[in-house]
Amino acid sequence: MDRQSITWLFGKTFLLLLFGAIIIPEDVNADESALIASESLLIQSDEDNSTDAPLPLDAPVPLEAPVPSSRLAMLIQQESEQPTPAPLLNESDASGLSSDLSGDSSSDPIGTATGDASGSATGDSPESPIESFGEAPIDRTPQFLRSVTPLLKPGQMQFDWGAVYSVQETNFPVLVGGGSILARGDVVRRSLFVPLAMRYGLNERTQLFINAPVGWYDTQFATVAGDSSDSEGGIGDTTFGFTRLLSQNNRAGRSLVGTVSATAPTGNPLNPLVFNGGGTGNGVWRLGGDLLVIQNLDPVILFYGGGYAYNFENEFSGFDVELGHQISYRMGLGFAANERVTLSGAFQGLFVTETKVDDVHIPNTEQDLMQLRFAATIAKCNKLTEPFVAFGLTDSSPSATVGVVFTK
């Protein structure tokens, strides 16, 4: 079916539903209206048949009411056999019913159901209290996604700290001995840092954040001809931005979250032209954003999304270097083991395009990073403790990462 046929079908269905909604309430009271009309006609007929002549003074006064006519008796019998009809609507009830049929968002469906004066079915003016039964459901807020989705109330703050250790091992062929010997070069990069972060709830849908890791970074390079090491310590690159809840469907349990971030080169830059150099940052400005879909299937929470980041050009060793653009993607789930513990797993990927030096693409400089991450988020005494471990799936990814993050 084409779009025009689908639109016509939906329009016809809507008109039928609207016509039925308007006609059905009239049919419900049709029997009651006919009953009242018949009774009025019978009473009028009895009044017309009665004589206006006064009774003589000596006429006996009947001690009992006259026996009703046959038609009136049948009417009374039919009325007694039928269920008691609902009372007629007063003006306030009629206005409430008309607003409900017209789809007015200002009408109160709870008040209509419980019987208040704005649109009750019984016409009682006082509000009847709504009783709640049982215990309130357990709040399964996805705190394991606290860094990528707004969970804080306006004015509320969260702080992260902890310890993270990461190691990456790669190897590639190199020429040694004046370029006459082809050997293998091994590079091992280690890092131990504290993931400092702060988040602030700007409003119900927006959350600000800033991250600034502080730690130690070491790079070792070894070949058959010898080895070298370079270590750096201090603050890394600072990332800041905001996360906003773009849409939320409570009935389907689905939310769409967007994040805009920027990275400032506050760390000691790592020279991308020297593969055995060390540093605490990339040395370039970065601007990016991503979208994340969160699906709540209590007690399981699914999430998936992707993003893009652009690295600005900077000068290294007298050359204009533009690092590759980054395309990220992720998917995973979290499972509420109980009211305090959430187990989560995620697959994270990052594709980096080729690096450009003086506007020339350097071949074979693209990277494809993939990683599996497993964590347990434990809530206790208004604090969160999250131990985690991650494994690299490609040569470009860190071989292993382990750590623990505390949140308050």
Give the lowest-confidence range in 116-125, 163-172, 210-219, 329-338.
Answer: 116-125
Q: Which token pair is 166?
A: 């990461």
Q: What is the mean pLDDT of residues 302-326?
A: 95
Distance from C-alpha of 78 to C-alpha of 234, rounded to nearest angstrom: 94
pLDDT of residue 98: 44
Q: At residue 272, does pLDDT exceed 60? A: yes
The angle formed by the CA atoms of residues 192, 198 and 203, to the nearest 5 degrees, is 155
Task: Identify the residue whose tokens are 């471990």.
Answer: 389
Above 60 in pLDDT, residue 393? yes
Per-residue CA distances from 222 to 86, 168, 190 (Å): 92, 14, 14
Distance CA 364, CA 361 (A): 9
In this predicted structure, what is the pLDDT of residue 177? 72
CATH homologous superfamily, domain 143-407: monomeric porin ompg (2.40.160.40)
Please report, for residues 144, 214, 349, 371, 404, the alpha-carbon distance to residue 346 in angstroms, rounded to integers and kept in the order given. 11, 25, 10, 8, 16
Provide mean pLDDT across the span 306-315. Answer: 96
Cβ–Cβ < 8 Å for 243, 258:
yes
| Residue 177 β-bridge partners | none
What's the alpha-carbon Rg for the chain, to the nearest Å?
38
Q: Which residues contact 268 (CB under 8 A, 6 or more apart)?
A: 232, 234, 279, 280, 281
pLDDT band at 236 (very low <50, low <70, confident <90, very high): very high
Per-residue pLDDT for 76 more than 70? no
Give the pLDDT confidence score for residue 27 in this predicted structure: 42
Closest Cα to residue 347, out of 323, 380, 322, 372?
Answer: 372
Q: Report residue 285's pLDDT band, with 50, 70 and 90 as the boundaries.
A: very high
**Interacting residues of 127 by C-beta distance below 8 A, sequence separation 6+:** 111, 114, 115, 116
**Model pTM score:** 0.64
Cα–Cα distance, 130 to 114 (Å, whole number): 8
**Both structure tokens of 3:** 């779009």
For 170-198, what is each residue's pLDDT tens digit?
887 887 777 677 888 888 999 999 999 99
- CB-based contacts of 31: which residues, under 8 Å, 6+ apart? 82, 85
Strands 383-392 and 400-407: antiparallel
Instruction: Provide the residue ranges of all domains of the chain, joining segments of one domain with +.
Output: 3-85, 143-407
Q: Which residue has the higher pLDDT, 230 or 353?
A: 353
Residue 75 Cα to chain centre, angstroms: 61
Neighbours of 322 (CB within 10 A): 20
The helix-helix angle for 70-81 and 30-49 (nearest 10°) equals 160
Per the listing, tokens 């999430």 go with 303
pLDDT at residue 388 is higher than 70: yes
Q: What whole-number distance in Å separates Cα of residue 102 and Cα of residue 79?
A: 34
Sheet harboring 360-361: ordered strands across? 314-316, 319-322, 356-357, 360-361
Mean pLDDT of 342-371: 94
Give the pLDDT band of residue 83 (cuts 50, 70, 90): low
Q: Which of 109, 101, 130 is nearest to 20 (CA)?
A: 101
> Six-digit token pair at 164?
């993270």
Q: Which residues pair with 255 in a beta bridge?
A: 248, 294
pLDDT, position 103:
44
In percent, how much of the chain has pLDDT > 90?
49
In the predicted model, is pLDDT for residue 17 greater than 60?
no
